[in-house]
Structure 1
Amino acid sequence: MTASDLPAAARDDLDAGLAALGLDPALAGPLARYLALMLRWNAAYNLTAIRDPREMVTKHLLDSLAMAPAVAGLPTLADLGTGPGLPGIPLAIATPGLRVTLVESNGKKARFMREALRQLGLGNAEVAESRIEALDRPGQFAAITARALATLPQILALGGHLIAEDGVLLAMKGARPDDEIAALPAGWALRDLRPLRVPGLDAERHLVVIGRAHSTNH
């Protein structure tokens, strides 16, 4: 299955979504190939519960790419519990200067991602088939991200060790997670909270940026 095997309506949605996000229209080719591969593998591997190609464009690709401005200029990103590579693979496609580590303990999903990276020739991404808390790369990432994985305190408990001293957690959330922010563990603080617009998605989305609390904060 190639990008041309995607239904025309899904391709149109992708083109329109990239334009709405202000992203390069040339990204549509590799993103469509990634989605076509996911559709093909999904039949046997159950990578995602979403089956409709147009819904996958909106809820997987465009939702992931809505946070592209937040990773622009970053050297490294660990995508925790990435599943079939979301948001990490779309972000790696859109941000060639970013090195993305896709952290996933499920063997089938890890195998799919390795094949996707090979077929896409995506040299700035790698798969780490590991449980998040077992990944032995302390302080190696400028940012970690997680999409629909867990609460903010849980994400930090699992993956906080991966964040560089001045690094951040970029968490994708639906409604404002004020209760989770209030429950942040000691040593961590809210840096930014911004609404995200996902083209075609009529739902609240927020990007939450968490960093280490500076010693001046008592």
Structure 2
Amino acid sequence: MTLDPTLATQLTRGISRMNLDISQQQIDKLLDYLALLIKWNKAYNLTAVRDPQEMVSRHLLDSLSILPFVSELPIIDVGSGPGLPGIPLAICRPELAVTTLDSNGKKTRFQNQVKLELGLENLTVVHTRLEEYRVEPFQQVISRAFASLQQMIQWTGPLCHQDGVFLAMKGLYPDSELAELPAGYELKQCHPLDVPETEGERHLLILGRI
């Protein structure tokens, strides 16, 4: 599938505005991922976002905005959907072991196709329900799909190492959700995110055990 050249320009411009160190080869892979997402979305409804330009801003640039705050320790993306933010992280951090988890078979089949076509050896795709997945805990648990911080910690807690962190991608600063954090957990850091061509606030909240 041939992409509209303006999408490459939009992506490159956004990456430049965010001052991210991403190679041309990685940009090309991000565009390959976008092309696959557009193609598969027509048949399998992987995301409600249909407009390719909106996919660049709301999916790719939004995912890339957290790069400066992700460490080199293994990370799991819970409720990954079509691989967001996990696949962009795997593309731009080839040294990072990324696991994506989703219970929707169509979405994990798509992710596995992306892994195969883009040669993402650092990506592990898991198709199962969250409550059924039990492995060695991860140092980083990330999601942009959970309804509340309380639910994220309750449901993904067993996947997070005792010294690990939860990275929650949010819109507005969630004062009320933070007030309802389960006992024993606290907000470690909060980073406002500047996502080009995206309206409204974006925040990355890093939570951990006290």
Which bracket does the TM-score occupy, shorter chain normalised? Answer: over 0.9
Query: Is 1:9 equivalent to 2:6 in the alignment?
Result: yes
Question: What corresponds to 1:115 in structure 2?
Answer: 113
String of CA shifts for 1:173-211, please: whole Å, max 9, x gaps: 000011111101011111011100001112100000000
Alignment of 1:202-213 (within 5 A): 202-213=199-210
Q: In structure 1, what residue type is equivalent to 2:43?
A: A
The alignment's TM-score, normalised by the length of structure 2, stands at 0.96
1-structure distance, mates of 2:133, 2:147:
17
Q: Which amino acid aligns with 2:208?
A: G
Contact 1:74–1:142 (8 Å) recurs in 2: no
C-alpha separation in 2, matches of 1:107 and 1:197: 32
Q: How far has the Cα of 1:90 moved from its partner?
A: 0.3
Q: Name the counterpart of 1:190.
A: 187
Cα drift, residue 25 of structure 1: 4.2
Q: How does 1:24-43 map to 2 (within 5 A)?
A: 24-26=22-24, 27-43=26-42
Structure 2 portions without partners, runs of 5+: none
Identity of aligned residues (%): 47
Give the secondary-structure state (helix, strand or coil) at the position aligned to 1:158. helix
- For 1:88, the equivalent position in structure 2 comes to 86
Structure 1 residue 144 corresponds to structure 2 residue 141: yes
Is contact 1:82–1:104 with CA below 8 Å preserved after alignment? yes
Aligned to 2:99: 101
**Deviation string, structure 1 residues 110-135 (Cα, Å, up to 9, x no partner):** 10000000000001111111111221
Distance 2:17 2:95 in 1: 22
The answer for the alignment partner of 2:157 in structure 1 is 160
Instruction: Work out whether residues 19 and 25 of structure 1, in 8 Å CA contact, stay in contact via their aligned partners in 2.
Output: no
Shift of 1:74: 2.3
- 2: distance between equivalents of 1:152 and 1:38? 28
Question: What displacement does 1:100 show?
Answer: 0.7
The DSSP-based 3-state class of the residue aligned with 2:77 is: strand
Aligned pairs, how many?
A: 208
Root mean square deviation, CA, Å? 1.0
Give me the whole-angstrom Cα distance separating, in 2, the residues matched to 1:54 and 1:188. 38
Does the residue aligned with 2:141 lie in a helix, a strand or coil? strand
